[in-house]
């Protein structure tokens, strides 16, 4: 089993497209280079921000192969698994392992709202089919399935289920998980506007969205918090919050792609049925982004900081 620390900042990377609706690999590489330069600790591809729902299986696996080759082991490469059918999720996990992924982010079954037993059986089926390290995505707000403490007790027996993307929007859940499991499951915040709170409570990492436009600021907040330099982290976080709140909107893909275009490391092009923003909505989102850019803080030296985990 490959070793994924599940600590630090893991960008949920955007999938840029050309005007011909193909994956824009040069622009993807530009964003990836910016992430690595900022000091991220891993990458996640083909998630919700990566427009997984509009990517074919072939495109996902080709993008994975590209990332594995381009990154060359510098940081872990995590593939999101978001399939409707259990056997398809198992097959995708096995193909990802063959290609060289380091780990998987695993959503519950989509479209069909599984009950607890069905969701657990789905998670267990994938875990049994691969040796890859797995992070369970716990997002009842968007996906309708809450992975409870009791469900994690059942998943504890699978050594490759190692982490949770905590997106319940209940920050107390960080403490509940630590109180029950100690360090057994790494906890990564999955909601940008709750990141400081979750990290201060002991979350081990941050699956970030606005990192796609602001990689240095994101990593700086994480490292400053974990170095117990809370006041400096909070100053950056307060500046960042209006932008981070773009992550919790139904059009988060369009909003964050527009932010990435504004900072020069992505493009606002999306794949249909999504459409690029227009009119007053685009004006309002750009105002949030541009107000932030006009007051962008100077960051302290953060790459050298030693982080401590609770």
229: domain CATH number? 3.20.20.70
Residue 298: inside a domain, yes or no? no
Judge contact between 114 and 143, C-beta under 8 A: no
Cα(79)–Cα(60) distance, integer angstroms: 8
pLDDT at 173 over 60: yes
Can you give the C-alpha Rg of the chain in angstroms? 18
Cα(89)–Cα(108) distance, integer angstroms: 10
- Alpha-carbon torsion (51, 253, 195, 178), positive or negative: negative
Residue 125: inside a domain, yes or no? yes
pLDDT band at 114 (very low <50, low <70, confident <90, very high): confident
Report the share of the chain in percent with pLDDT over 90: 93
Strands 77-81 and 103-106: parallel
pLDDT band at 1 (very low <50, low <70, confident <90, very high): low
pLDDT band at 73 (very low <50, low <70, confident <90, very high): very high
- Please count the structural domains in the chain: 1
Q: Which of 6, 179, 150 is nearest to 78 (CA)?
A: 6
Residue 256: inside a domain, yes or no? no
Q: Residue 10 belongs to what H/E stretch?
A: strand 8-11
Strands 205-208 and 8-11: parallel
Residue 168: inside a domain, yes or no? yes
- Give per-residue burial for 86-101: e unless 16+ CB within 10 Å, then b: beebbebbebbbebeb
* Residue 293 φ/ψ, nearest 5 degrees: -65, -35
Judge contact between 259 and 208, C-beta under 8 A: no
SS3 (DSSP) at 280: helix
E strand map for the chain: 8-11, 43-45, 77-81, 103-106, 133-138, 161-166, 186-189, 205-208
Residue 162: inside a domain, yes or no? yes
| pLDDT tens per residue across span 242-284 | 999 999 999 999 999 999 999 999 999 999 999 999 999 999 9
The structure's pTM equals 0.97
Residue 310: inside a domain, yes or no? no
pLDDT at 34 over 70: yes
Domain region containing 136: 8-233
Angle between helices 215-226 and 25-38 (to 10 degrees): 30
Average predicted confidence (pLDDT) for the chain: 96
pLDDT band at 309 (very low <50, low <70, confident <90, very high): low
Structure-token match 């996990």, residue found: 93
Cα(163)–Cα(103) distance, integer angstroms: 11
Task: Count the alpha carbons within 13 Å of 155 in the hemisphere toward its beta carbon.
Answer: 30
> Which positions ≥6 away from 240 have C-beta within 8 Å?
210, 214, 217, 221, 292
| pLDDT tens per residue across span 42-68 | 999 999 999 999 999 999 999 999 999
SS3 (DSSP) at 204: coil
Residue 219: inside a domain, yes or no? yes
Q: Which of 41, 137, 2, 20 is nearest to 82 (CA)?
A: 137
Query: How far does Cα 31 stand from its chain's mean position?
Result: 15
Q: What is the mean pLDDT of residues 125-152?
A: 95
SS3 (DSSP) at 208: strand
| pLDDT tens per residue across span 295-306 | 999 999 999 997
* Residue 138 φ/ψ, nearest 5 degrees: -105, 95
Residue 34: inside a domain, yes or no? yes
């Amino acid at each position: 089993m490959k070793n994924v620390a599940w600590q630090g900042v893991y960008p949920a990377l955007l999938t840029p497209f050309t005007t011909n609706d193909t994956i824009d690999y040069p622009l993807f590489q530009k964003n990836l280079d910016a992430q690595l330069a900022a000091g991220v600790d891993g990458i996640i591809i083909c998630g919700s921000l990566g427009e997984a729902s509009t990517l074919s299986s072939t495109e996902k696996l080709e993008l994975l192969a590209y990332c594995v080759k381009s990154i060359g082991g510098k940081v872990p490469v995590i593939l999101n698994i978001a399939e409707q059918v259990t056997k398809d999720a198992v097959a995708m996990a096995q193909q990802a392992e063959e290609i060289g992924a380091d780990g998987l982010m695993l959503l519950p079954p989509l479209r069909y709202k599984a009950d607890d037993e069905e969701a657990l059986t789905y998670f267990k089926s994938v875990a049994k089919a691969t040796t890859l390290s797995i992070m369970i995505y716990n997002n009842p707000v968007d996906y309708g399935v809450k992975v409870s403490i009791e469900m994690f007790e059942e998943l504890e027996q699978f050594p490759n289920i190692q982490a949770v993307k905590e997106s319940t929007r209940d920050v107390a859940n960080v403490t509940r998980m630590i109180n029950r499991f100690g360090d057994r499951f790494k906890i990564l915040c999955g909601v940008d506007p709750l990141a400081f709170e979750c990290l201060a409570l002991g979350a081990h990492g941050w699956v970030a969205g606005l990192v796609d436009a602001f990689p240095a600021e994101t990593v700086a907040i994480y490292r400053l918090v974990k170095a117990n330099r809370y006041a400096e982290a909070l100053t950056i976080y307060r500046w960042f919050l209006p932008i981070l709140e773009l992550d919790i909107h139904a059009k988060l893909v369009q909003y964050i792609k527009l932010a990435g275009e504004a900072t020069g490391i992505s493009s606002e092009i999306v794949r249909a049925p999504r459409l690029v923003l227009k009119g007053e909505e685009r004006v309002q989102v750009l105002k949030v982004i541009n107000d932030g850019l006009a007051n962008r803080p100077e960051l302290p030296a953060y790459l050298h900081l030693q982080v401590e985990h609770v």
